[in-house]
């Protein structure tokens, strides 16, 4: 396209004012412009009719002052006019007086692209003057001019081709309303508008720290990009522009040391490059557009920058509405998701485990995680615990039973990632788990699973943290800020679900307790008035010296006299000034009545255990405080209340109501609950004269001691007490240390049948065989270790070790006799060919009875 100045050189100007068509200098008959006068008004002095005109102050080839030589062939009489020199002001005045001529000239001789460049240059110069303060705003004058010029420029730029581009772009946005697609289509339109040979679009990732190359048709994520760079100088042009925030024009991309990697993607023969940052109105960087022209192409100019800016004005609006559409769509999907969560959880609250599994399942779907864990807070112990874990298997909501771990896991609230979140209430989004010192690698080592990313979120209810949900390994990339926001809203529903699940669990437990209470009341009742009067009328012995002996046989005492012996032991141990005798009578008789008629765990067993504890308290001479001794004695008396003759394992497997109420130490919890129930009966509270603090301490000791009779807890208590003894760290003044002594003493008293004389031991053991296991292994594995540790801590209990050892020797002898008899029987069967013949079992039973009768 030719330069407009050259077009002026080749065009004859219209007759100047004062010249007629014939070229005469007579006065024209046409009216003059206000600024026109004689011919000299433009030319000054009149010369010959053939004029050579030089316009001073303008060069057709540059913006510098110079001279424009213009030959005017004003053929007045067929002769050439002399050369005439015109000033720039003269031509300007002439064009001002002849706007029609100027308009006709521009429409016929100047291209549309050139006009656009002129307008862009004019606007750019105006902004530059305003920016440097060369003209200050007066009454909003400049602001109005800027708006008018900006609007004119925008309308001017949107000619037929660009209008079609924008229509196509609008149609594409409507079909694919997402930020990446809008910017990609916008970059394509800009490349076409500035005649670029190619373009690249880089988007900022969610962290705001890196750029990644966007390719149309990709998954719109950084992971699918072939090029990713950190936003910082020293690498690519795009990274430099994103870091600086300015537009960069480069004529020789390979020669610029600021970006040694150049443009990286595409444009292998690119030479001149223009890079423009895409910045929102709030200053947030969205991406960078790279435009390039290949070798031989013209460099980009300021006009190209203005064209890009004009497109980005519209593009920013499009991106804003695209993001708004995306946000609304995402929110609608989240609302639908939360509605499904609410419907699934609250319509089918079967148990806490079911709710936990559903929460973990939905949490994985929400943020596209591979694994999920839910830890609940135990405020009493300041620990986090979990009993259900996600192993990566598919969870079926219709399954009646959730996947449950074999063992509950507990750890302090200040340990690990979950512990940090539970302690601080802060959300943790860890993009590299192994780089975070709070992450515990032992779990990965044990399971063979590799943890990469973690999103951990606290669950609140009424302002308190009740749990922590931990998402592990996002399926693609890392957890984003959007994932945090969605999961934070989901956590609110999790808190409500867990809260209602706990309420439901409490209601369910209350129903089970009600059933158990009805069952107990149908079998038991309080002592009768006749029983009370009978016991009250019996005199309590002043002395029973034979009682303070470990070898004393409680089974030799008549069943009706046992309550009287209990009263005696109670009175002998404690000062009766604080206790009411009638209340003690009723309490003791009702305790006896609440023991069922079972082979071993009956009233006689309770009496023998209470006697054993009485003997320990008497012989150890005030090792325990009066309140501790009271708790130990009452706990022994009540430790098997309402025992059904079945083990805890049987109660759980048979799905009894008791197992539904107490998941661990089932029967022991029930025994303590029965103790409290009896104390609450009218006229049965033997602790009624105690202060509230003393009452609380005694009940706590009774509960601790009764639960200690669960053999599942014995081994842990024994190990801890033994460790303290071996390290010489045990202190009698330490309350916690004494609790371990109490626990071991309770176990020793509960097994006291194994320390009695052989004739007593042999009779009681026949009953034990019906409920437990071989007596030799029982004494070696449990009884002797218990009594030996007890004797080390309290030497006065050494007779318990001696009694158990003597009985063990007898049982070993019996075991050898039985073993030899069985071997002889097998040989005899083989000899007669009756190894599996009829009647062999009957013969074995007969032989066993014979061997028992041979015992001394």
Q: Which two tokens stand for residue 219?
A: 């998954």
**Beta-carbon count within 10 A of 321 CB:** 13
The answer to whether 565 touches 540, Cβ cutoff 8 Å, is no
Q: What is the pLDDT of residue 347?
A: 67
* No. of helices (H) and no. of strands (E), the chain: 30, 15
**Contacts of residue 484, Cβ cutoff 8 Å, sequence gap at least 6:** 427, 429, 455, 457
Which residues fall within 8 angstroms of residue 473, CB to CB, at 6 or more apart? Answer: 369, 370, 371, 450, 451, 452, 453
Q: What is the pLDDT of residue 285?
A: 85
**Max CA distance (Å), the chain:** 166
| Block residue for tokens 């002129």 | 118
Task: Summarize pLDDT for 295-329 with one digit per residue, the tens.
Answer: 888 899 888 888 888 888 777 777 777 777 777 87
* 113, β-bridge pairs: none
DSSP string, 261-327: TTT-SS-TTEEEEEEEEEE-TTS-EEEEEEEEEETTPPPP-HHHHHHHHHHHHHHHHHHHHHHHHHH
User: What is the 3 state secondary structure string of 609-671?
Assistant: HHHHHHHHHHHCCCCCCHHHHHHHHHHHHHCCCCCCCCCHHHHHHCCCHHHHHCCCCHHHHHH
**Mean pLDDT, rounded, for 388-400:** 56
Residue 103: φ, ψ to 5°: -65, -45
Q: How much of the chain, in percent, has pLDDT values that exceed 90?
A: 19
What's the rounded Cα separation, in Å, for the pair 202 and 213? 4
* Structure tokens that stand for 217 in this block: 């048709």
DSSP E strands in 521-568: the ranges are none
Nearest in space to 384 (alpha carbons), one of 392, 394, 374: 374
Catalytic residue numbers read 601
Distance CA 639, CA 642 (A): 9
374 bridge partner residues = 469
> What percent of the chain is helix, strand and coil (3-state, nearest 5)?
55, 10, 35
Retrieve residue 54's tokens. 């030089």
CA angle 557, 813, 849 (to 5 degrees): 65
CB 758 within 8 A of CB 779: no
Pick the closest to residue 562 from 623, 521, 603 (CA basis).
Answer: 603
HEC per residue, 31-71: CCCCCCCCCHHHHCCCCCCCEEEEEECCECCECCCCEEEEE
pLDDT reported for residue 411: 84
Strand 51-56 versus strand 83-87 pairing type: parallel
pLDDT band at 501 (very low <50, low <70, confident <90, very high): confident
What percent of the chain is modeled with pLDDT above 70? 73
Determine the 3-state secondary structure of 564 from DSSP. Answer: helix
More confident residue, 141 or 468: 468
Query: Who has greater pLDDT, 413 or 63?
Result: 413
Integer Cα distance of 573 and 323 in angstroms: 81
CA distance 80 to 526: 145
Q: Look at residue 160 in the predicted model and tell me its pLDDT.
A: 45
What is residue 721's predicted lDDT score, i.e. its pLDDT? 93
Q: Are 160 and 137 in contact (CB under 8 A)?
A: no
Helices of type H across 132-159: 141-157
Tell me which of 578 and 8 has the higher pLDDT.
578
Residue 263: pLDDT band with limits 50, 70, 90 = confident
How high is the pLDDT of residue 362? 78
Q: Given this model, what pLDDT does residue 393 score?
A: 56
For residue 678, how far is the Cα from the chain centroid? Answer: 47
User: pLDDT (tens digit, 9 = 90+) per residue, 753-770?
Assistant: 888 888 887 777 666 554
Spatial contact of 57 and 87, defined as CB atoms under 8 Å apart: yes
More confident residue, 67 or 795: 795
- Residue 375 above 80 pLDDT? yes
Amino acid 10: pLDDT: 41
* pLDDT mean over 581-603: 91
**CB 812, CB 782: distance < 8 Å:** no
pLDDT of residue 338: 72
C-alpha 619/C-alpha 629 separation (Å) is 12
Residue whose token pair is 């990566």: 392
Q: Which pLDDT belongs to residue 361? A: 79
Q: Which of 695, 688, 581, 587 is nearest to 641 (CA)?
A: 587
């Amino acid at each position: 396209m030719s330069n407009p100045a050259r077009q002026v050189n080749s065009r004859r100007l219209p007759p100047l004012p004062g010249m007629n068509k014939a070229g005469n200098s007579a006065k024209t008959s046409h009216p003059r412009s206000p600024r026109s006068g004689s011919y000299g008004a433009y030319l000054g002095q009149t010369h010959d009719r053939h004029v050579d005109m030089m316009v001073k102050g303008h060069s057709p080839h540059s913006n510098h002052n110079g001279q424009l030589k213009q030959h005017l062939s004003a053929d007045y009489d067929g002769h050439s006019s002399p050369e005439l020199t015109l000033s720039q002001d003269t031509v300007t005045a002439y064009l001002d007086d002849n706007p029609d001529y100027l308009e006709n000239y521009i429409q016929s001789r100047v291209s549309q692209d050139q006009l656009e460049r002129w307008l862009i240059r004019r606007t750019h110069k105006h902004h530059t003057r305003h920016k440097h303060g060369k003209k200050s705003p007066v009454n909003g004058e400049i602001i109005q001019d800027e708006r008018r010029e900006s609007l004119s420029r925008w309308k001017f730029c949107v000619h037929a081709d660009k209008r079609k581009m924008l229509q196509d772009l609008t149609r594409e946005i409507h079909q694919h309303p997402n930020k990446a697609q809008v910017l990609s289509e916008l970059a394509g339109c800009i490349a076409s508008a500035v005649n670029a040979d190619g373009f690249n679009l880089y988007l900022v990732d969610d962290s705001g720290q890196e750029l990644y190359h966007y390719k149309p048709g990709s998954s719109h994520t950084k992971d699918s990009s072939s090029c990713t760079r950190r936003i910082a100088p020293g690498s690519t042009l795009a990274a430099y522009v994103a870091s600086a925030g300015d537009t960069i024009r480069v004529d020789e991309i390979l020669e610029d040391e600021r970006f040694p990697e150049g443009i990286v993607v595409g444009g292998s023969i690119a030479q001149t490059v223009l890079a423009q940052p895409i910045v929102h109105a709030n200053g947030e960087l969205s991406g960078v557009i790279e435009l390039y022209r290949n070798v031989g192409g013209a460099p980009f100019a300021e006009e190209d920058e203005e064209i890009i800016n004009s497109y980005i004005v519209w593009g920013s609006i499009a991106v804003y509405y695209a993001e708004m559409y995306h946000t609304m769509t995402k929110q609608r999907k989240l609302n639908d998701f939360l509605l499904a969560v609410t419907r699934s959880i609250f319509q089918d609250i079967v148990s806490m485990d079911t709710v936990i599994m559903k929460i973990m399942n939905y949490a994985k779907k929400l943020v596209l995680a591979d694994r999920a864990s839910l830890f609940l807070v135990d405020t009493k112990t300041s620990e986090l615990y979990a009993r259900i874990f996600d192993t990566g298997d598919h969870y079926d909501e219709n399954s009646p039973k959730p996947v449950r771990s074999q063992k509950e896991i507990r750890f302090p609230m200040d340990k690990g990632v979950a512990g940090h979140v539970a302690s601080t209430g802060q959300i943790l989004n860890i993009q590299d788990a192994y780089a975070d010192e709070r992450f515990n690698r032992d779990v990965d080592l044990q399971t063979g699973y590799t943890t990469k990313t973690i999103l951990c979120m606290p669950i609140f209810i009424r302002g308190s943290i009740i749990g922590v949900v931990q998402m592990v390994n996002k399926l693609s990339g890392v957890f984003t800020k959007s994932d945090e926001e969605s999961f934070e809203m989901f956590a609110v529903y999790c808190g409500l679900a867990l809260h209602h699940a706990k309420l439901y669990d409490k209601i369910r437990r209350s129903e089970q307790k009600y059933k158990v209470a009805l069952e107990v009341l149908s079998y038991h009742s309080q002592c009768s008035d006749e029983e009370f009067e009978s016991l009250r009328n019996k005199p309590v012995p002043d002395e029973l010296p034979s009682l303070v002996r470990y070898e004393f046989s409680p089974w030799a005492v008549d069943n009706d006299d046992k309550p009287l012996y209990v009263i005696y032991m109670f009175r002998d141990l404690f000062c009766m000034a604080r206790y009411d005798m009638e209340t003690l009578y009723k309490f003791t008789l009702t305790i006896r009545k609440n023991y069922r008629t079972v082979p071993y765990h009956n009233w006689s067993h309770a009496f023998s255990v209470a006697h054993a504890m009485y003997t320990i308290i008497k012989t150890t001479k005030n090792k325990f405080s009066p309140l501790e001794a009271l708790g130990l004695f009452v706990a022994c008396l009540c430790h098997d209340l309402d025992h059904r003759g079945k083990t805890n394992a049987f109660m759980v497997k048979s799905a009894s109501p008791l197992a539904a109420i107490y998941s661990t130490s089932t029967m022991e919890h029930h025994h303590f609950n029965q103790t409290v129930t009896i104390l609450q009966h009218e006229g049965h509270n033997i602790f009624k004269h105690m202060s509230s603090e003393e009452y609380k301490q005694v009940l706590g000791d009774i509960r601790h001691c009764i639960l200690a009779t669960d053999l599942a807890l014995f081994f842990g208590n024994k190990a801890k007490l033994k460790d303290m003894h071996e390290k010489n760290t045990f202190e009698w003044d330490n309350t916690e240390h004494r609790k371990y002594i109490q626990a071991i003493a309770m176990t020793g008293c509960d097994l006291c049948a194994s320390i009695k004389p052989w004739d007593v031991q042999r009779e009681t053991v026949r009953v034990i065989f019906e409920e437990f296991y071989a007596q030799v292994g029982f004494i070696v594995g449990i009884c002797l270790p218990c009594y030996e540790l007890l004797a080390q801590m309290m030497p006065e209990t050494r007779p318990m070790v001696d009694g158990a050892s003597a009985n063990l020797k007898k049982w070993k002898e019996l075991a050898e006799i039985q073993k030899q008899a069985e071997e002889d029987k097998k040989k005899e069967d083989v000899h007669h060919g009756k190894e599996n013949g009829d009647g062999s079992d009957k013969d074995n039973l007969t032989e066993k009875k014979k061997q028992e009768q041979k015992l001394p």
